[in-house]
Amino acid sequence: MIVMTPQASEAQVAAVREKLAATGVHVLVMPGELTTAIGAIGDPERVGELGLEGMAGVDRVVPISRPYKLASSELAHHEPTRFEVEGHVVGGNETFTLIAGPCTVESSEQTLRVARAVRDAGASMLRGGAFKPRTSPFAFKGLGVLGLELLAEARAETGLPVVTEFLDTTHADAIAEYADVIQIGARNMQNYALLEVAGKLGKPVLLKRGLSSSLDELLQAADYILKEGNERVMLCERGIRTFETATRFTLDLGAVPWLKLHSHLPVIVDPSHASGDRRLVEPLSRAAAAVGADGIIVEVHEDPEKALCDGPQALYARDFAAYVASVAVHAALCGRQLA
């Protein structure tokens, strides 16, 4: 968008318009009360090369064409997106959503015990992986469909909706049958075929940021889901690769207010995978609440020493209620109540 100065003459406006039109972009002149703005819709690089800032009567050139469209706060919505998952509100700036549970479903007993503990402490959804993406092909990859059945059993008993990872398009039918929220894992953020299928399943999606993905790329990945007509998308900051190796990943807390500014979608933080260390999970969770996150997804286990996956970062189920109370205080400071 080219904003003219209040003193710009009609001839100066016309000169800018002609210069733009010559490059083939679509030109829209919008006279305002004080100034005239000229919209140029098309290839931003070509417009950038024109040197419009130097032309007489031009005040400034403001890029408005972000690479992400549907996920952008600029485009479709000005209100933050708010939706419900089985009656639990997500987004909308007044709610703090707590998603908790084991990294991986290991057994009926393990899943039920954690589900009861997190429900009693105030969680609004149960997480748990049935299909696990593992760095080593020899590691435990989850119980598959049996894992989904165990999650459904825990949902039936506790009433908690289930968040579980959609790893591969071949699992689409099973995931659609059992999941209440479809998780796209960090390693699959740029699996565009998977995103399109996820967008078509008619369920809310929790989209995790890739290990080395920029926020622009995250929002463009969200566009893949949104363009299927699915508006119930949550973004998830789960830590990124940096030079720092002391923590498992580096939690990018700056991403939270940035995403809240540039997108209308709710932002959830995962302090478990970001840190890899349960001792850091509570402080990072409080920080996430304080920078305006819409919620947290956190790993909890009754006996983390025996967990088949991600034990060192899992909170003890017996400590979970105290953890929730502490995080809720920080969420309340930002005007949010537990969902």
Binding residues (CB under 6 A) for ligand PEP: these are 103, 129, 133, 185-187, 208, 238, 270, 273
Neighbour count for residue 247 (Cβ, 10 Å) = 15
Residue 117 Cα to chain centre, angstroms: 26
Pick out residues in 89-118 that bind Mn ion (CB under 5 A).
Answer: 103
Cβ 114 to Mn ion shortest distance, Å: 13
Min dist CB 204 to Mn ion, Å, is 20
Long-range CB contact pairs, 248-254, < 8 A, 24+: 248/273, 248/274, 248/275, 248/276, 248/277, 248/313, 249/211, 249/273, 249/274, 249/275, 249/276, 250/274, 251/275, 251/284, 251/288, 252/209, 253/287, 253/288, 253/291
The alpha carbon torsion through 22, 23, 26, 31 (nearest 10 deg) reads -60
Write down the least CB distance from residue 330 to ligand PEP, Å: 22
Q: Distance of alpha carbon 125 from its chain centroid, rounded?
A: 16
From CA 285, how far away is CA 300, in angstroms rounded? 14
For the CB of residue 10, give the shortest distance to ligand PEP in the complex, in Å. Answer: 56
Residue 185 binds which one of ligand PEP, Mn ion, none, with CB within 5 to 8 A depending on kind?
A: ligand PEP
Overall size of the chain counted in residues: 339
Residue 244's CB is within 10 A of a number of other CB atoms, namely 9
CA–CA separation, 58 and 87 (whole Å): 51
Least distance CB 297 / ligand PEP (angstroms)? 7
Residue whose CB is nearest to ligand PEP in the complex, by number: 185
Which of 127/260 has CB closer to Mn ion?
Answer: 127
Tell me the torsion sign for CA atoms 339, 266, 126, 286.
Answer: negative
Residue whose CB is less far from ligand PEP, 16 or 125: 125
Angle at 269 between CA 199 and CA 200, to 5 degrees: 5
Is the CB of residue 319 less than 8 Å from the CB of residue 301? Answer: no
Residue 294 and residue 78: Cα distance in Å, rounded? 17
Provide the residue type at 243 as one letter. F
Least distance to ligand PEP, CB of residue 217, Å: 15
**Other CB atoms closer than 10 Å to residue 287's CB: what's the count?**
17
> How near is the Cβ of 83 to ligand PEP at its closest, in Å?
21
Q: Does 268 bind Mn ion (CB under 5 A)?
A: no
**Residues 284-313 within binding reach of Mn ion (CB under 5 A):** 310
Write down the least CB distance from residue 238 to ligand PEP, Å.
4
Using the minimum distance from each CB to ligand PEP, give the nearer residue, 210 or 292. 210
| Nearer to ligand PEP among residue 27 and residue 278 (C-beta) | 278
Q: Within a 10 A sphere around the Cβ of 322, how many other Cβ atoms?
A: 12
Residues that bind Mn ion (CB under 5 A): 103, 310
